[in-house]
């Protein structure tokens, strides 16, 4: 089961992942540097931390896509997002956004060239079971929408104030 696919609804994941960097930039302008540092509630990630997470995940997705293409029936290595997040205090919003955009652009160029048989390549996720490379791309799009909703909620909180 892909927990992020439900966020996509009928949307094309490739279109979603193409639009996400621009939307994150718009929300960054709305928030400004000071508000991007403030968590929306105790124990929740700030906008800066969400963008750091997006950058980390884009690197992970890049690796997963390339491994799925290079290895037969690759087994994906899961990661603990909270352990990755331990280092976010040292990361700036702008540098995280730049990393996200750069790796996303690189991934989009590769994804745009994939053939149907490549998208159907099987991979295994130890926690989610059998899936395909297409599922990884759907996960990227759903993951984007999940975190864009969080960023939009943070931005709307400040717009209402």
Burial class (CB in 10 A: 0-12, 13-18, 19+), 147: buried
3-state secondary structure of 132: strand
- Closest C-alpha to 68, from 111, 7, 5: 111
Mean local confidence (pLDDT), 2-15? 89
Q: Is the per-residue pLDDT at 21 higher than 80?
A: yes
Residues near 43 by Cβ (< 8 Å), separated by ≥ 6?
A: none
User: Total domain count for the chain?
Assistant: 1
Q: Across the chain, what does the average pLDDT equal?
A: 94
User: Angle 51-56-59 (CA atoms, 0-180°, nearest 5)?
Assistant: 130
pLDDT of residue 161: 59
Query: What is the extent of the structural domain holding 107?
Result: 5-160
pLDDT of residue 157: 84
Ramachandran area for residue 118 (φ above 0: left; ψ -120 to 50: alpha; else beta): alpha
Q: Which residue has the higher pLDDT, 157 or 53?
A: 53
Residue 138, domain CATH: 1.20.120.450
Residues near 81 by Cβ (< 8 Å), separated by ≥ 6?
A: 53, 56, 57
Reported as a single tens digit per residue, the pLDDT across 86-124 is 999 999 999 999 999 999 999 999 999 999 999 999 999
Predicted model pTM: 0.94
pLDDT of residue 5: 78
């Amino acid at each position: 089961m892909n927990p992020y696919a439900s966020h996509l609804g009928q949307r094309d994941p490739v279109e979603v992942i193409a639009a996400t960097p621009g939307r994150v930039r718009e929300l960054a302008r709305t928030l400004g540097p000071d508000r991007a540092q403030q968590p929306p509630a105790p124990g929740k990630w700030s906008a800066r931390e969400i963008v750091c997470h997006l950058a980390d995940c884009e690197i992970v997705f890049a690796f997963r896509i390339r491994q799925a293409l290079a290895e037969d029936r690759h087994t994906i290595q899961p990661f603990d997002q909270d352990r990755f997040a331990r280092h976010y205090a040292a990361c700036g919003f702008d540098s995280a956004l730049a990393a996200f955009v750069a790796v996303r652009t690189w991934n989009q160029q590769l994804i745009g060239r994939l053939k149907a048989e490549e998208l159907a390549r099987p991979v295994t996720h130890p926690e989610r079971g059998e899936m395909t490379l297409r599922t990884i791309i759907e996960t990227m799009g759903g993951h984007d929408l999940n975190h864009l909703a969080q960023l939009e909620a943070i931005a709307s909180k400040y717009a209402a104030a």
